[in-house]
Amino acid sequence: MIELKDITKRFADGQRALTVLDSLSLHVDEGEFIAITGESGAGKTTLLNILGTLLPADEGQYSIRGEKVEVSDETGVERLCHLRNKEIGFVYQDHRLLPQFTVLQNILLPTLATKTTSTEEEQQRALSLLEFTGILPLKDSPVTQLSGGEQTRVAICRALINQPAILLADEPTGQLDVANTQTIATLFQQVNTQFHTTIIMATHSAEMSKVAKKTYLLKEGKLRVKN
Amino acid sequence: MKSLITQSRKHYRRFYRLVTIAVILMMAVLTGSLLLGDSVRGTLVQRVSERLGKTETIITSGTGFMSETLLQHPSMKHSQGYLLMDGFVSVGEMLLPVYVWGIDTDSLASDEVMVNEPLYAKLSTLDSQLSTFVLHLPSLNLIPSGSLFVSKSHATQMRVRVAGVKSVEDGGNLLLKNEQTLPLNVFINRRQLAEKMELEGKINLILSDDIIEEEQLSACWTPEHSGIHLTDSSLTYDGVFIPQDIVEKLSAANSQPSTIYLSYFVNNLMADADTVPYSFVTAINEWQGEPLEGQDMILSDYAAERLHVREGDSIRMDYFITKQLKNLDTREKMLRVKQIVPLAAFREDSLLMTDFPGLTRVENCTDWDSDLPIDMDRVQKEDEDYWHTYRQTPKAVVAYEAVRADWSNAFGSATAMRFQSPNLTPQISHLTPQLSPSDADVRLYHPRAQGLKGANEGVDFASLFLSLGFFIILSAILLMKNPLVEMFTLRQDEIQLYRQLGFRDKDIRNGLFREAFSVMLLASPWGVVAGLLYSCLTLWLLGNVWSGATHTDGFALHIQPLTLLIGIVVGLAICALTLWMVVRNALKPRTSHSSSPKYRTSLVTPCISLLITIVLIAANFLFFHDMVLFIVCGLLWILTGGIFLRVEVNRQATTSIRSILNRTQLMWLSIRSSLKQHLLAYWTLSLGVFTVFAVGLNRPDFSQAVQAIGGYQFYVDSRVPIQYDLNNPAVRKKLSLNELPDSTRFLSFLRHTQDEASCLNLNQVSTPTVLGVDLKEMEPFGLNTDAEPNPEPSTLNSQLSTVYIDEEALMWSLMKSVGDTLFYQNERGDEVPVVIAGTYPTGIFHGNAIMSSEDFRRLWPKESGVEVLLMKSSRPDEAAELLAIAMNEYGLHIQTVEERIKMFFEVTETYLIIFLTLGGLGLLLGIFSLMVIVRKNLAARTATIRQYRAMGFSERLIGQLLFRENLLVPLYAVCVGAVGSAISISANVGGAGPVTLLLALAVLVGICLILYYGIQYMIQQTINKQQTI
């Protein structure tokens, strides 16, 4: 489903260029759940951003379902936005929930990227996701009132609202305690099994790594399979 | 610590750059405005020195004159005598009113004059080659021109050569009036001038470099100095008519009855069919020791012979009397011949004969020159013979009391007095002390203190420019506050870190305060420098481009260290206060919404507010038509707009919770999340637009002012008082005005010249010039006589005079209100209360107090000539031209009423332009501050933008969403502000012409475009910064 081939990404560090990803290659099958570990600054977030089409690679090829991900013109940009909206969901460590909106509104936000109004069906789906994640009673609450675990669940719901094929998670439990980490880990596992969503997760957490079917170590710009 | 602060300042320099700009701007406007106040005040004070030179005491002689011998007294050692008169210079068709100063100089020949710099500059602009011009002088006589028997009241003229320019240092700008405008002065050799005016040895003004007190003046003054010829046995006066006060004083002082003489020129002495035309008759209270009373007449044998009468016979005497403006009326008096005496008996008493120049100094009766319509056909050979032999020897003597009321005038009630001296003691030593200089209208005052008081208490330009630049200061504060807020928001982690490290909030606050305040301190000197530049530029503009507001040039920068210090301290205090509030706020614990906040969503309040506004507007339109109420309505409208915005945002955002989400609701929710900042933007912009447009468009309605003048088309200012009623056909014939269209009407005004109280005078004024007129004639001018005078208790016992003053002069120049009392000096030198009884709309009489002619004559009876006229005619241009030609010796300045009103309106217009300029700058600064707020909002939403991107929102869509939520409120604010300003000017829609309205519309569109593109640009910048794909 996802194919990365010889991906290189460099960042300017003063006068010199810092190579974060060095001819990195990765193949992820549909419905696969992989975890990427590595030291801080190893390039996990960069890799996720490239996978999430938020960052272009300097070199190499990236394709999803055999289709190349690249930007050649304005149409290409629009196409990537559409791809990101429909096929990819994001969960971040800091959740990135918008404080001005309620739980339900935050979840429905991605539905407005391609049209002006969310549909009844999407709202029902959002409610189902809330039920699925166990936070349905909080649907009209302001997100600022939620706990860290609840916020992560809202972020997961939001990532799933458009039923994406790929879910990218960047340290989703980085701010959570062990109990909550376990709950979220289970939730990711359920998402993977029930919705057949391909999950690529960057994490330091051993608990989270355990629920992944495959774990990679990102070191010196390259991925190595850990188990 | 110091290096930490320096490092932080360096790190956050992009914020501090804006703070520096804001501090410089605020400091510049603040100190600049204060410096402007000092500079204008300093210039006015300087003008006082320029116009007075070293003069400490001014001694004037009213309508009369003083002998130059007065200057020989030791008290007058440092004094100069002048003959000062109003004149005018004609260059081509242009008439320039000038002050003509007869000065003691040997350097000016008879046809030479010196002019001061302003006049020279003016003459040079009219004709660069000009070396000579015609100087017109009012025909000054010892006998006041307002009295009867004097015809030559208009000007004499002389061609003069400009021999030099008298500099300011040399007293070129001498001026006795308390004004800052530079006078146009002509200096001429006093002796030559006196010779020309037949006033040899006379002066009417003494300027002394010493402070001379009343007692000193009284000590050196003698009646002879004022032309009062007091001998042991008699009194005569150069001005012919001896003032009533002197007559009464001397009569009372003399233990024996005095004989009072009053000579007159009568039309006829008639007995049956016999008539003696045009004779001098003298009224007297006793004849040869016997009282002369009632109808008694002593007749000369010459007259008795011509009239064929004997003692006991009756004689009819008829004569002219004058009412106002030498309008003649004939009176008859039946008299009885008590005694017939030889003509020699009359000739023996020289006091019976009086010298009326136009009548007595001629060779033949046919040469008589007076105001009286003398029918020369009635003058017979025997009359001429009498004249050749006996001149003004009276033909009869009548009882003084019988004719006193008819023959007396404003100038006096006697032409001579004789004192009985039974004990042969010298009367002169006894009587002289009874007279004081003020009896002869000789008065002194010390002008410097008065001038300095007027200058120091004049228009306060510091307050004026602080008010005009208030919006800039406010915008600068916003501009200072917003980057600080933005910076401290970004530094929340740093603040938390300090707390974690064990710093107390007080320490953190002090540290942050010191860091930011050090920037403000460093910026403030630059602000002061900018303030100096600002005041220099404004002073230059006030003297040039904006001279319409001041009619003054040559403003000089006067720096008062104390003012500078005050400006700096106040500026830094504002900076410190703003910073303290921001820092305090930054250290407040962040509130996480522990419970759902309650949002007000009820439309009841905005609806009630809107209803009140609409009802007030309608009521004002239908009933009150009050401008202030319209402004209040405009402000209410803006308040309603603010309340509505708050409620509507909450309503829309709250509704969205219960319904399906859409992009519009996204916008409302985002606006609600930073409602405080959006409301700040709303108030800033709406009030800014309202203020600038309401003031800019609220122009005085020129057409209304022009309509409210009773159809009069011309305002005529005469340099020489006109002693005639120009509506009188006989007068028109006499003045060659008989070709004026019959429809031509004049409205005449007497004038008591005092301080210029119009907006053209920057000095504070206590007694404005008074115009005397029949108040009934003033009804079309909107005189508001409804107000009840409320005089000061001290004035209650006096006979009250009242005046009406135009609204603007009352408010701004006099700083008084209706019911207040002004104190004028009457002709006797007494201070009399004059109550402000009402107002009239500002227009052609701006700066003048209007008084009934009755009150005017009571206070200043000698000022009987008309100096201001209004004229209307069916053929106005023709009438104006004819008037200018026929009365060219009066130095008439004829203006259309439109021109005159425009002159005053120009001042208001210029102030409005200044306000618009500064207000516009303030508004631009406000918009810039708003942009900073938008930038701050965008900076705070980086995470949101990233999330939008992650969710697949395209850049364009993110841009659109941000654009809508950031533009909606500013555009709404501009619209509400514009509608509010439109409401506020409803009372005066005609004031702003179509060009102004179009300009305003263009500015409005400009503001919207600036907002549109400015916000769009910043959003694009923000998005671009985070753009990856």
Residue-by-residue DSSP string for B623-674: II--HHHHHHHHHHHHHHHHHHHHHHHHHHHHHHHHS--BHHHHHHHHHHHT
Instruction: Write out residues 64-93 of A within 8 Å (CB-CB) of B.
Output: 71, 77-78, 80-86, 88, 90, 92
CA–CA distance, B812 with B193 (Å, rounded to integer): 41
- Mean of pLDDT values over B767-784: 84
Instruction: Write out residues 167-226 of A within 8 Å (CB-CB) of B.
Output: none
Question: HSE-up of B646 (CA within 13 Å, CB side)?
Answer: 18
Instruction: Write out residues 99-138 of A within 8 Å (CB-CB) of B.
Output: 99-102, 104-105, 108-114, 116-120, 123
In Å, how far is B949's CA from the nearest CA of chain A?
A: 8
Of the candidates B596, B660, B672, which has its C-beta nearest A117's C-beta?
B660
A contacts of B493 (beta carbons < 8 Å): none
Tokens coding B692: 């600038």
Number of domains in chain B: 5
Identify the burial level of B124 via C-beta atoms within 10 angstroms of its C-beta, where 0-12 means exposed, 13-18 middle and 19 or more buried: exposed
Chain segment B488-543, per-residue pLDDT in tens: 888 887 888 777 777 788 888 988 999 999 999 999 999 999 999 999 998 888 88
Q: State which residue of chain B sits closest to A80, comparing Cα positions.
A: B952
Question: Does a structural domain hold residue B105?
Answer: yes
Q: With 60 as the cut, is the pLDDT of residue B89 above it?
A: yes
For residue A9, list its beta bridge partners. A21
Question: What pLDDT score does B419 carry?
Answer: 81
C-alpha pair distances (Å), A117 with each of A114, B285, B788: 9, 113, 70
Question: What pLDDT score does B747 carry?
Answer: 92
Tokens coding B779: 């009804």
| Domain end marker among B197, B221, B245 | B221
Of the candidates A90, A111, A112, which has its C-beta nearest B950's C-beta?
A90
Q: Indicate the pLDDT class of residue B598, thresholds 50, 70 and 90.
A: low
Question: What pLDDT score does B502 carry?
Answer: 76
Whether residue B235 sits in one domain with residue B145: no
Q: Indicate the pLDDT class of residue B830, thresholds 50, 70 and 90.
A: confident
Whether residue B331 sits in one domain with residue B281: yes
Q: With 90 as the cut, is the pLDDT of residue B240 above it?
A: no
Q: Taking the CA atoms of chain B, what radius of gyration do you get in angstroms?
A: 39
- Mean of pLDDT values over B328-353: 90
Q: With 50 as the cut, is the pLDDT of residue B594 above it?
A: no
Whether residue B297 sits in one domain with residue B246: yes
Q: With 60 as the cut, is the pLDDT of residue B684 above it?
A: yes
B contacts of A140 (beta carbons < 8 Å): 657
Question: Does a structural domain hold residue B448?
Answer: no
In Å, how far is A181's CA from the nearest CA of chain B?
A: 23
Residue with tokens 């506004």: B613
Quick one: three-class SS letters along B566-617? HHHHHHHHHHHHHHHHHHHHHCCCCCCCCCCCCCCCCCHHHHHHHHHHHHHH
C-alpha pair distances (Å), A175 with each of A95, B499, B883, B971: 10, 21, 98, 42
First and final C-alpha spacing in chain A: 21
Q: With 90 as the cut, is the pLDDT of residue B977 above it?
A: yes
In Å, how far is A186's CA from the nearest CA of chain B?
A: 24
Q: With 60 as the cut, is the pLDDT of residue B793 above it?
A: no
CA A78 to chain centroid: 20
Identify the burial level of B331 via C-beta atoms within 10 angstroms of its C-beta, where 0-12 means exposed, 13-18 middle and 19 or more buried: middle
Give the predicted TM-score (pTM) of the model. Answer: 0.71
Whether residue B210 sits in one domain with residue B142: yes
Secondary structure class of B104 (helix, strand, coil): coil
Question: Does a structural domain hold residue B454?
Answer: no
B contacts of A81 (beta carbons < 8 Å): 952-954, 957
Tokens coding B801: 């005079």
Question: What pLDDT score does B151 carry?
Answer: 60
- Mean of pLDDT values over B747-775: 85
Whether residue B845 sits in one domain with residue B719: yes
CA A101 to chain centroid: 21
Inspect the interface and report whether the beta carbons of A117 and B592 lie closer than 8 Å: no
Number of domains in chain A: 1
Inspect the interface and report whether the beta carbons of A145 and B592 lie closer than 8 Å: yes
Question: Does a structural domain hold residue B276?
Answer: yes
Question: Does a structural domain hold residue B525?
Answer: yes
Under a CB-based contact definition with an 8 Å cutoff, are residues B897 and B713 in contact? Answer: yes
Chain B interface test: which of A81, A107, A145 (most B C-beta within 10 Å): A81
* Least confident window among B130-139, B423-432, B713-722: B423-432
Whether residue B325 sits in one domain with residue B201: no
Chain segment B436-476, per-residue pLDDT in tens: 888 888 989 898 888 888 888 877 888 888 887 887 888 88
Task: Give the length of chain A.
Answer: 227
Closest CA relative to residue B822, chosen from B770, B887, B760:
B770
Tell me the residue range of the domain where B410 lies: 225-435
In Å, how far is A25's CA from the nearest CA of chain B?
A: 21
Question: What pLDDT score does B396 carry?
Answer: 94
Under the phi-then-psi rule, with left for phi > 0, alpha for psi from -120 to 50, and beta for the rest, what region is B90? beta
| Domain end marker among B200, B221, B242 | B221
Whether residue B896 sits in one domain with residue B919: no
Q: With 90 as the cut, is the pLDDT of residue B127 above it?
A: no
Q: Indicate the pLDDT class of residue B592, thresholds 50, 70 and 90.
A: very low
Q: With 80 as the cut, is the pLDDT of residue A225 above it?
A: yes
Tokens coding B888: 């060219």
Secondary structure class of B116 (helix, strand, coil): strand
- Mean of pLDDT values over B83-93: 84
Under a CB-based contact definition with an 8 Å cutoff, are residues B571 and B31 in contact? Answer: yes
Tokens coding B869: 């006229």
Instruction: Write out residues 50-69 of A within 8 Å (CB-CB) of B.
Output: 52-56
Task: Write the CATH number for A107.
Answer: 3.40.50.300
Question: What pLDDT score does B786 carry?
Answer: 55
Strand order in the sheet with B714-722: B821-825, B831-840, B801-806, B849-852, B770-773, B745-752, B866-872, B714-722, B892-896
Instruction: Decide which of B576 and A70 is more confident.
Output: B576
Chain segment B929-972, per-residue pLDDT in tens: 788 778 777 877 788 888 888 888 888 888 888 898 899 999 99
| Domain end marker among B206, B221, B236 | B221
The mean of the pLDDT values for chain B is 84
Chain A interface test: which of B947, B948, B1026 (most A C-beta within 10 Å): B947
Q: State which residue of chain A sits closest to B596, comparing Cα positions.
A: A142
Under a CB-based contact definition with an 8 Å cutoff, are residues B278 and B267 in contact? Answer: yes
Under a CB-based contact definition with an 8 Å cutoff, are residues B843 and B805 in contact? Answer: no
Instruction: Decide which of B338 and B243 is more confident.
Output: B338
Inspect the interface and report whether the beta carbons of A118 and B943 lie closer than 8 Å: no
CA–CA distance, B88 with B90 (Å, rounded to integer): 7
Whether residue B421 sits in one domain with residue B364: yes
Task: Give the length of chain B.
Answer: 1029
B contacts of A85 (beta carbons < 8 Å): 951-953
Q: Indicate the pLDDT class of residue B246, thresholds 50, 70 and 90.
A: confident
Question: What pLDDT score does A13 carry?
Answer: 73
Closest CA relative to residue B402, chosen from B317, B476, B459, B330:
B317
Inspect the interface and report whether the beta carbons of A54 and B955 lie closer than 8 Å: no
Inspect the interface and report whether the beta carbons of A101 and B669 lie closer than 8 Å: yes
How large a percentage of chain B has pLDDT more than 90?
26
Whether residue B92 sits in one domain with residue B198: yes
Question: What pLDDT score does B424 carry?
Answer: 47
Query: Which residues are CB-neighbours of B269 under 8 A, at least 6 positions away?
Result: B275, B276, B279, B281, B303, B307, B315, B316, B317, B395, B396
Chain segment A185-204, per-residue pLDDT in tens: 899 999 999 989 999 999 88
Q: With 60 as the cut, is the pLDDT of residue B798 above it?
A: no
CA–CA distance, B397 with B291 (Å, rounded to integer): 12
Chain segment B715-725, per-residue pLDDT in tens: 999 888 888 88
B contacts of A88 (beta carbons < 8 Å): 952
Whether residue B890 sits in one domain with residue B765: yes
Question: Does a structural domain hold residue B987?
Answer: yes
Whether residue B518 sits in one domain with residue B407: no
B663-673 and B955-984 are packed helices; what angle lies between their axes, rounded to 10 degrees? 70
Identify the burial level of B259 via C-beta atoms within 10 angstroms of its C-beta, where 0-12 means exposed, 13-18 middle and 19 or more buried: buried
Closest CA relative to residue B180, chosen from B625, B631, B555, B736:
B555
CA–CA distance, B57 with B169 (Å, rounded to integer): 19
CA–CA distance, A55 with A92 (Å, rounded to integer): 16
Chain segment B874-930, per-residue pLDDT in tens: 998 999 999 988 888 788 889 898 888 887 777 777 777 777 788 888 888 888 878
Q: What are phi and psi of B997, to 5 degrees?
A: -65, -40
Inspect the interface and report whether the beta carbons of A77 and B946 lie closer than 8 Å: no
Question: What pLDDT score does B992 carry?
Answer: 66
Question: Does a structural domain hold residue B182?
Answer: yes
Chain segment B988-1014, per-residue pLDDT in tens: 666 667 777 788 888 889 889 999 999
Query: Which residues are CB-neighbours of B967 under 8 A, at least 6 positions away?
Result: B1011, B1012, B1015
Cα B1022–Cα B1023–Cα B1025 angle in degrees, nearest 5 = 70
Tokens coding B772: 């005397």
Tell me the residue range of the domain where A57 lies: 2-225
Inspect the interface and report whether the beta carbons of B661 and A83 lie closer than 8 Å: no
Whether residue B918 sits in one domain with residue B887: no
Cα B636–Cα B637–Cα B643 angle in degrees, nearest 5 = 85
CA–CA distance, B298 with B261 (Å, rounded to integer): 14
C-alpha pair distances (Å), A24 with each of A36, A202, B387, B444: 13, 16, 138, 106
Secondary structure class of B757 (helix, strand, coil): coil
Pair type for strands B202-203 and B66-67:
antiparallel
Identify the burial level of B906 via C-beta atoms within 10 angstroms of its C-beta, where 0-12 means exposed, 13-18 middle and 19 or more buried: middle
C-alpha pair distances (Å), B822 with each of B178, B236, B561, B840: 17, 37, 37, 17
Chain segment A146-155, per-residue pLDDT in tens: 988 899 999 9
Of the candidates B661, B669, B950, which has its C-beta nearest A118's C-beta?
B661
Q: With 60 as the cut, is the pLDDT of residue B1 above it?
A: no
Question: What pLDDT score does B158 carry?
Answer: 85
Inspect the interface and report whether the beta carbons of A113 and B663 lie closer than 8 Å: no
Under a CB-based contact definition with an 8 Å cutoff, are residues B319 and B277 in contact? Answer: no
Q: With 80 as the cut, is the pLDDT of residue B192 above it?
A: yes
